[in-house]
């Protein structure tokens, strides 16, 4: 645990306090200069805002859709096992491979999305427009992760006692009242853990940004993980990249403590 956990963290913290640059042979200790120059500037604040938007929209989109789909499948309609298996496929495949597939779908020249949108929009540049690129990123992220929310809610619904719902129905409770006063309170632990897992995952999302948009156009979709990658492996400023990574870890520490507390048996 020390070798794979603590030691890399200490190395990253030390690197963030140096002027390490892969294009320069001399490295010196600079203290908090990297944090002052990297974090307290427009790039970091913009990337933090982009990251928060990805997390916020992810929660607002993934949870309602995942919950509704789970409720529909919980009623066991005809073919629900096959439907559930098909819906789980995006969660089971590699995000990079899925992002490559969506990259071809949204290709401005030959992509399927261009032909589907042609009756409404004339040759949209899906990944070249700042607004469309962000929408595409959010859409693909939701498409991949809604099944996770769905399967978690399904697991929670399986533990809801049907006797409670039947008794409430006999007492004249409507479907909305049963959902609000019985189902949602019983699902609160599951929904809370699912929420924390999705928030942490979306906060750390790198693969979709790297493959789909490359942080662009411009810096519209440059979130914190991609900013750390860009500073380290594109600009070769390892010290600056490490400072971004350390700052991002500090921001997410409260989420990890909350996750440990809520999953504590």
Return the pLDDT at 39: 76
Return the pLDDT at 209: 96
Closest to 133 measured CA to CA, from 60, 234, 62, 53:
53
Return the pLDDT at 50: 96
Closest to 240 measured CA to CA, from 18, 11, 6:
18
Report yes or no: 54 and 205 within 8 Å, Cβ to Cβ. yes
- Weakly modelled stretches of the chain, pLDDT under 70: 263-265
Return the pLDDT at 264: 67
Query: In sequence order, which residues have a C-beta less than 8 Å from that of residue 71 and are 6 or more positions away?
Result: 153, 157
Return the pLDDT at 77: 83
Q: DSSP label at 251?
A: H
- Tens of pLDDT, residue by residue over 61-96, are 999 999 999 999 988 888 888 988 898 898 888 999
Return the pLDDT at 92: 87
Return the pLDDT at 138: 95
Q: Buried b / exposed e across 220-248, counting CB within 10 Å, b at 16+?
A: bbbbbbbbbbbbbeeeebbbbbbbbbbbb
Query: In sequence order, which residues have a C-beta less than 8 Å from that of residue 48 and are 6 or more positions away?
Result: 224, 251
> Which domains does the chain show, CATH number per domain?
2-262 (1.10.3720.10)
- Tens of pLDDT, residue by residue over 12-26, are 999 999 999 988 888
């Amino acid at each position: 645990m020390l070798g794979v956990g603590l030691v890399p963290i200490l190395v990253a913290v030390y690197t963030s306090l140096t002027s390490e640059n892969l294009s320069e042979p001399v490295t010196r200790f600079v203290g908090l200069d990297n944090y002052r120059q990297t974090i307290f500037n427009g790039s970091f604040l913009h990337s933090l805002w982009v990251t928060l938007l990805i997390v916020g929209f992810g929660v607002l989109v993934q949870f309602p859709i995942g919950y509704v789909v789970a409720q529909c499948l919980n009623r066991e309609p005809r073919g629900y096992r096959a439907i559930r298996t098909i819906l789980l496929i995006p969660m089971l495949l590699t995000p990079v491979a899925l992002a490559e597939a969506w990259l071809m779908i949204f290709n401005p020249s030959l992509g399927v999305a261009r032909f589907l949108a042609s009756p409404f929009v004339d040759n949209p540049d899906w990944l070249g427009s700042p607004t469309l690129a962000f929408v595409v990123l959010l859409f693909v992220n939701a498409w991949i992760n809604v099944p996770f929310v769905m399967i978690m809610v399904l697991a929670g619904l399986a533990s809801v006692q049907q006797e409670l719902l039947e008794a409430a129905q006999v007492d004249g409770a409507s479907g909305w009242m049963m959902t609000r006063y019985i189902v949602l309170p019983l699902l609160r632990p599951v929904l809370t853990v699912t929420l924390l897992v999705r928030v942490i995952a979306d906060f750390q999302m790198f693969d979709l940004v790297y493959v789909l948009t490359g942080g662009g156009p411009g810096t519209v979709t440059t979130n914190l993980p991609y900013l750390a990658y860009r500073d380290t492996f594109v600009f070769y400023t390892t010290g600056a990249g490490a400072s971004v990574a350390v700052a991002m870890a500090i921001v997410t520490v409260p989420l990890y403590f909350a996750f440990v507390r809520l999953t504590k048996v």
